[in-house]
Amino acid sequence: MGEQKGEGVVAATGAEGARVRPIEHRLAEATRLPSLFVWIVATLIVLVLCTAWHNATGAWRGLAVDGEPFWRTPWRLEIVFAVILGYVFACGGWIVRNMRRDLDTLAPVLAIEPSELAAERAGIGLFSPLALFVAGAGGVAVGIVVHLLVNALLPPGHSALDDRLWRFLRDVTIWTLSIRLVVVVIGSSQRVSRLSERVARIDLLDLRGLAPLARIGLRSALAFALAASMIAAMASDELTLPVALITMVIVGAVGAFSVLLPVRGVHRAIRAAKDAELLAVRAAIARSRRAALARDATAADDATRLGDLLAFEARIAGVGEWPFGLGTFVRLTVFLALPLGSWIAGALVEWLVSRVLG
């Protein structure tokens, strides 16, 4: 038996050898910086490149456009794009690292050998080269479509139309990293879901040990909610408002969907355990009922036992099939409200600035 398990671990390790880490994760890890600082550094690099490009093309002079600081002109959206690009570059590594920690926290309720758990943990964040290539190609295609759509919405003579090459490179890069981030979140969540369905120990009277799965889902939802909040900052431009709103809705929907991904497997395991327990207890109830109705010397004891069984049945029937609590739904609601709050706050700040500066 031990040999079979060892062979299974070796086979799984060999299968993982055919998978690779996304290059953006490897680059971010090479900096040896926390994810927040990776985000900041990537954002600053994009801003430096943006400034150098537009100075080379003559659109900017230093940090000014026609004598005005670029952040006081419509060019300020370049800051938002830089923040978004830095975020999608750094976010995937953050998701993977925290998911590995949550898997360690989940270990006590997993019927799995330490070597198998280590292999599963190492496998989080690894993907087939084909999947990453398809995700990248899909991101390029989406970036091109969005770029062309925005160009179609801009009126003739708009300054952005003279900046097509930079915008094309920027849009394609952002969407490529974004689609790859979606693949990372979905693929990693599904891996954890399959593992928990296969080896989780289900205690119907205490599901608190499965809380790390809910945290994984909430963290993914937070990641997409933050992305949607950044996109909301672009909604102040009336010309591109339709594209910004559509993108926000799509990102928000993916975020809501990502909450369920890591818990779907354990949901099926809880439902199966619940059905099996209810089947057994209802069979015991039927036996106790027949004995209590027999009116023999043990009828009183059978009646008492029947009452206990009925109470236990009600307890099991009331067990939720998802490892969620009220706090989970409250946090999810707050996360999904972040884009709207960001939009309102951005509009308020812009109004205040315009009032203060006259």
CA distances from 262 to 40, 218, 316 (A): 29, 10, 23
Residues 310 and 345 in one domain: no
Least confident among 33-42, 43-52, 175-184, 293-302: 293-302
Tokens of 312: 């236990």
Q: Which string of DSSP letters, residue by residue, matches 191-254?
A: HHHHHHHHHB---TT--GGGHHHHHHHHHHHHHHHHHHHHHHGGGG-TTTHHHHHHHHHHHHHH
pLDDT at position 11 is 43
pLDDT at position 2 is 46
If one counts the domains in the chain, the total is: 2
Q: What percent of the chain has pLDDT over 90?
A: 52
What is the average pLDDT across 241-268?
88
Please determine, for residue 52, whether its predicted confidence score (pLDDT) is greater than 60. yes
Residues 227 and 305 in one domain: no
Query: DSSP character for 125?
Result: T
What is the average pLDDT across 25-51?
94
Q: CA–CA separation, 63 vs 65, rounded Å?
A: 7
Residues 186 and 291 in one domain: no
Please determine, for residue 55, whether its predicted confidence score (pLDDT) is greater than 90. yes
pLDDT band at 342 (very low <50, low <70, confident <90, very high): low
Residues 313 and 233 in one domain: no
Q: Which string of DSSP letters, residue by residue, matches 25-87?
A: HHHHHHTT--HHHHHHHHHHHHHHHHHHHHHHHTS-BTTEETTEEGGGSGGGHHHHHHHHHHH
pLDDT at position 12 is 45
Phi/psi of residue 68, nearest 5 degrees? -110, 140
pLDDT band at 343 (very low <50, low <70, confident <90, very high): low
Q: Which domain holds residue 186?
A: 19-272+319-356
Query: DSSP character for 161?
Result: G
Please determine, for residue 337, whether its predicted confidence score (pLDDT) is greater than 70. no
Q: CA–CA separation, 55 vs 77, rounded Å?
A: 17
Model pLDDT for residues 257-314, shown as the tens digit of each residue: 898 999 999 999 999 999 999 999 999 988 888 877 766 555 566 677 888 889 999 9
1 within some domain: no
Residues 112 and 228 in one domain: yes
Residues 308 and 344 in one domain: no
27 within some domain: yes
11 within some domain: no
pLDDT band at 345 (very low <50, low <70, confident <90, very high): low
293 within some domain: yes
pLDDT at position 139 is 95
47 within some domain: yes
Tokens of 217: 């889902």
Contact 199, 111 (CB under 8 A): yes
Residues 235 and 109 in one domain: yes
12 within some domain: no
pLDDT at position 233 is 77
Mean pLDDT of the chain, nearest integer: 85
Q: Identify the residue whose tokens are 């120990």.
A: 201
Residues 180 and 212 in one domain: yes
pLDDT at position 157 is 78
**Model pTM?**
0.83
What is the average pLDDT across 331-339?
67
Model pLDDT for residues 107-150, shown as the tens digit of each residue: 999 998 999 999 999 999 999 999 999 999 999 999 999 999 88
pLDDT at position 161 is 79
pLDDT at position 74 is 82
